[in-house]
Amino acid sequence: MSDALNNNLSATPLENLEEKIKELEQQVEENFAGWQRARADYQNLKKEGEKKQAQLMVEAKKILLAEILPIYDHLKQAMNIPHNGNHFLEWRRGIEQIKNQWDALLKRWQVEDVPTVGEKFNPEIHEAVEHHDSGNETISRELQGGYKVEGQLLYPARVIVGEDTNSAKQHTFDSDK
Protein backbone atom coordinates (compact mmCIF):
# COMPACT_ATOMS: atom_id res chain seq x y z
CA MET A 1 0.00 0.00 0.00
CA SER A 2 2.79 2.38 0.53
CA ASP A 3 3.62 2.26 -3.19
CA ALA A 4 0.02 3.18 -4.06
CA LEU A 5 0.08 5.99 -1.51
CA ASN A 6 3.37 7.30 -2.89
CA ASN A 7 2.02 7.21 -6.46
CA ASN A 8 -1.09 9.07 -5.34
CA LEU A 9 0.93 11.70 -3.48
CA SER A 10 3.37 12.23 -6.33
CA ALA A 11 0.56 12.44 -8.94
CA THR A 12 -1.42 14.95 -6.92
CA PRO A 13 0.90 17.96 -7.37
CA LEU A 14 1.08 17.36 -11.13
CA GLU A 15 -2.68 16.98 -11.37
CA ASN A 16 -3.06 20.11 -9.25
CA LEU A 17 -0.81 22.04 -11.65
CA GLU A 18 -2.73 20.82 -14.69
CA GLU A 19 -5.99 21.78 -13.02
CA LYS A 20 -4.60 25.20 -12.09
CA ILE A 21 -3.42 25.72 -15.70
CA LYS A 22 -6.88 24.84 -17.00
CA GLU A 23 -8.46 27.31 -14.55
CA LEU A 24 -6.04 30.06 -15.60
CA GLU A 25 -6.63 29.36 -19.30
CA GLN A 26 -10.36 29.61 -18.71
CA GLN A 27 -9.89 32.87 -16.80
CA VAL A 28 -7.73 34.27 -19.64
CA GLU A 29 -10.44 33.33 -22.17
CA GLU A 30 -13.12 34.99 -20.03
CA ASN A 31 -11.00 38.13 -19.58
CA PHE A 32 -10.25 38.30 -23.29
CA ALA A 33 -13.94 37.87 -24.16
CA GLY A 34 -14.83 40.59 -21.65
CA TRP A 35 -12.22 42.91 -23.16
CA GLN A 36 -13.61 42.26 -26.65
CA ARG A 37 -17.14 43.07 -25.46
CA ALA A 38 -15.93 46.26 -23.76
CA ARG A 39 -14.05 47.29 -26.90
CA ALA A 40 -17.12 46.68 -29.07
CA ASP A 41 -19.29 48.63 -26.61
CA TYR A 42 -16.82 51.52 -26.70
CA GLN A 43 -16.75 51.55 -30.51
CA ASN A 44 -20.55 51.48 -30.64
CA LEU A 45 -20.74 54.31 -28.11
CA LYS A 46 -18.21 56.33 -30.08
CA LYS A 47 -20.19 55.84 -33.34
CA GLU A 48 -23.41 56.77 -31.57
CA GLY A 49 -21.79 59.93 -30.17
CA GLU A 50 -20.51 60.94 -33.61
CA LYS A 51 -23.95 60.35 -35.11
CA LYS A 52 -25.62 62.46 -32.40
CA GLN A 53 -23.04 65.23 -32.89
CA ALA A 54 -23.75 65.26 -36.64
CA GLN A 55 -27.50 65.42 -35.94
CA LEU A 56 -26.95 68.33 -33.53
CA MET A 57 -24.96 70.19 -36.19
CA VAL A 58 -27.81 69.75 -38.68
CA GLU A 59 -30.33 70.97 -36.10
CA ALA A 60 -28.14 73.99 -35.23
CA LYS A 61 -27.87 74.87 -38.94
CA LYS A 62 -31.63 74.60 -39.34
CA ILE A 63 -32.22 76.89 -36.35
CA LEU A 64 -29.73 79.45 -37.63
CA LEU A 65 -31.01 79.34 -41.21
CA ALA A 66 -34.61 79.69 -40.04
CA GLU A 67 -33.58 83.05 -38.55
CA ILE A 68 -31.28 84.17 -41.36
CA LEU A 69 -33.30 83.27 -44.44
CA PRO A 70 -36.21 85.69 -43.80
CA ILE A 71 -33.68 88.52 -43.60
CA TYR A 72 -32.07 87.29 -46.81
CA ASP A 73 -35.50 87.24 -48.49
CA HIS A 74 -36.08 90.86 -47.42
CA LEU A 75 -32.68 91.81 -48.83
CA LYS A 76 -33.58 90.20 -52.17
CA GLN A 77 -36.88 92.13 -52.16
CA ALA A 78 -35.05 95.39 -51.44
CA MET A 79 -32.61 94.71 -54.26
CA ASN A 80 -35.56 94.37 -56.68
CA ILE A 81 -36.78 97.89 -55.85
CA PRO A 82 -35.26 100.41 -58.24
CA HIS A 83 -33.04 102.64 -56.10
CA ASN A 84 -33.10 105.69 -58.28
CA GLY A 85 -34.62 109.07 -57.46
CA ASN A 86 -38.32 108.17 -57.14
CA HIS A 87 -37.83 104.98 -55.15
CA PHE A 88 -34.68 105.85 -53.24
CA LEU A 89 -36.42 106.58 -49.90
CA GLU A 90 -38.45 103.37 -50.11
CA TRP A 91 -35.29 101.43 -50.92
CA ARG A 92 -33.39 103.14 -48.08
CA ARG A 93 -36.17 102.27 -45.59
CA GLY A 94 -36.07 98.64 -46.75
CA ILE A 95 -32.32 98.47 -46.23
CA GLU A 96 -32.66 100.08 -42.77
CA GLN A 97 -35.33 97.51 -41.83
CA ILE A 98 -33.01 94.70 -42.91
CA LYS A 99 -30.19 96.16 -40.81
CA ASN A 100 -32.59 96.35 -37.85
CA GLN A 101 -33.52 92.70 -38.38
CA TRP A 102 -29.82 91.77 -38.39
CA ASP A 103 -29.23 93.80 -35.23
CA ALA A 104 -32.15 92.05 -33.48
CA LEU A 105 -30.93 88.62 -34.61
CA LEU A 106 -27.39 89.32 -33.40
CA LYS A 107 -28.72 90.54 -30.06
CA ARG A 108 -30.83 87.36 -29.65
CA TRP A 109 -27.74 85.28 -30.39
CA GLN A 110 -25.73 87.37 -27.88
CA VAL A 111 -23.35 88.70 -30.52
CA GLU A 112 -21.58 91.92 -29.58
CA ASP A 113 -19.46 94.31 -31.63
CA VAL A 114 -15.82 94.63 -30.65
CA PRO A 115 -15.41 98.33 -29.72
CA THR A 116 -13.01 100.12 -32.08
CA VAL A 117 -12.76 103.82 -32.98
CA GLY A 118 -11.52 105.87 -30.04
CA GLU A 119 -10.57 102.76 -28.04
CA LYS A 120 -7.05 101.81 -27.00
CA PHE A 121 -5.62 99.10 -29.27
CA ASN A 122 -5.85 95.64 -27.70
CA PRO A 123 -4.17 92.82 -29.68
CA GLU A 124 -6.49 90.28 -28.05
CA ILE A 125 -9.55 91.72 -29.81
CA HIS A 126 -8.09 93.93 -32.56
CA GLU A 127 -5.94 93.22 -35.62
CA ALA A 128 -3.87 96.22 -36.68
CA VAL A 129 -3.85 96.42 -40.47
CA GLU A 130 -1.92 99.70 -40.27
CA HIS A 131 -0.04 101.01 -37.30
CA HIS A 132 1.09 104.62 -37.59
CA ASP A 133 4.09 105.37 -35.42
CA SER A 134 2.66 108.48 -33.81
CA GLY A 135 3.01 107.22 -30.24
CA ASN A 136 -0.76 107.07 -30.09
CA GLU A 137 -2.21 103.59 -29.46
CA THR A 138 -5.80 104.74 -30.05
CA ILE A 139 -7.77 103.20 -32.90
CA SER A 140 -8.46 105.84 -35.52
CA ARG A 141 -10.42 103.76 -38.04
CA GLU A 142 -12.30 100.46 -38.30
CA LEU A 143 -11.80 98.58 -41.55
CA GLN A 144 -13.87 95.54 -40.61
CA GLY A 145 -15.91 94.90 -37.50
CA GLY A 146 -15.00 92.22 -35.01
CA TYR A 147 -17.47 90.24 -32.94
CA LYS A 148 -17.81 88.41 -29.65
CA VAL A 149 -20.33 85.66 -28.96
CA GLU A 150 -21.33 85.31 -25.31
CA GLY A 151 -18.14 87.13 -24.33
CA GLN A 152 -15.83 84.96 -26.47
CA LEU A 153 -14.07 86.45 -29.48
CA LEU A 154 -15.47 85.17 -32.77
CA TYR A 155 -12.95 87.16 -34.79
CA PRO A 156 -11.00 90.38 -34.18
CA ALA A 157 -11.81 93.81 -35.59
CA ARG A 158 -9.43 94.94 -38.33
CA VAL A 159 -8.33 98.47 -37.50
CA ILE A 160 -5.89 101.31 -38.14
CA VAL A 161 -4.02 102.38 -35.03
CA GLY A 162 -2.71 105.89 -34.45
CA GLU A 163 -3.00 108.91 -36.66
CA ASP A 164 -1.39 109.11 -40.06
CA THR A 165 0.26 112.53 -39.76
CA ASN A 166 1.35 112.45 -43.43
CA SER A 167 -2.17 111.93 -44.76
CA ALA A 168 -3.50 114.57 -42.34
CA LYS A 169 -0.93 117.07 -43.64
CA GLN A 170 -1.63 115.98 -47.22
CA HIS A 171 -5.36 116.36 -46.69
CA THR A 172 -4.89 119.85 -45.22
CA PHE A 173 -2.60 120.81 -48.08
CA ASP A 174 -5.03 119.49 -50.71
CA SER A 175 -8.01 121.26 -49.16
CA ASP A 176 -6.17 124.58 -49.26
CA LYS A 177 -5.96 124.49 -53.06
Residues ≥6 apart with Cβ < 8 Å to 112: 147, 148, 149, 151
CB 121 within 8 A of CB 128: yes
C-alpha separations of 30 from 2, 90, 131, 155 in Å: 42, 79, 69, 54
pTM of the model: 0.57
CB atoms within 10 A of CB 159: 26
More confident position, 69 or 156:
156
Q: What is the pLDDT of residues 129-160, one digit of tens each?
A: 998 877 788 999 999 999 999 889 999 999 99
Cα-flanking dihedrals φ and ψ of residue 89, to 5°?
Answer: -65, -40
5-14, 156-165, 167-176: which has the highest mean pLDDT? 156-165
Q: What is the pLDDT of residues 100-129, one digit of tens each?
A: 998 999 898 899 999 999 999 999 999 999
Q: What is the pLDDT of residues 23-66, one digit of tens each?
A: 999 999 999 999 999 999 999 999 999 999 999 999 999 988 88
pLDDT reported for residue 175 = 41
Asked if pLDDT for residue 4 goes beyond 70, the answer is: no
pLDDT reported for residue 133 = 76
CATH superfamily of 112-177: Head domain of nucleotide exchange factor GrpE (2.30.22.10)
Provide the residue ranges of all domains of the chain, joining segments of one domain with +: 23-109, 112-177
Q: What does the alpha-carbon distance between residue 70 and residue 100 come to, in Å, rounded to a whole number?
A: 13
Q: How confident is the model at residue 174 (pLDDT cuts 50, 70, 90)?
A: very low
Checking 112-115 for CB contacts under 8 A at 24+ apart, the result is: 112/147, 112/148, 112/149, 112/151, 113/145, 113/146, 113/147, 113/157, 114/145, 114/146, 114/147, 114/148, 114/153, 114/156, 114/157
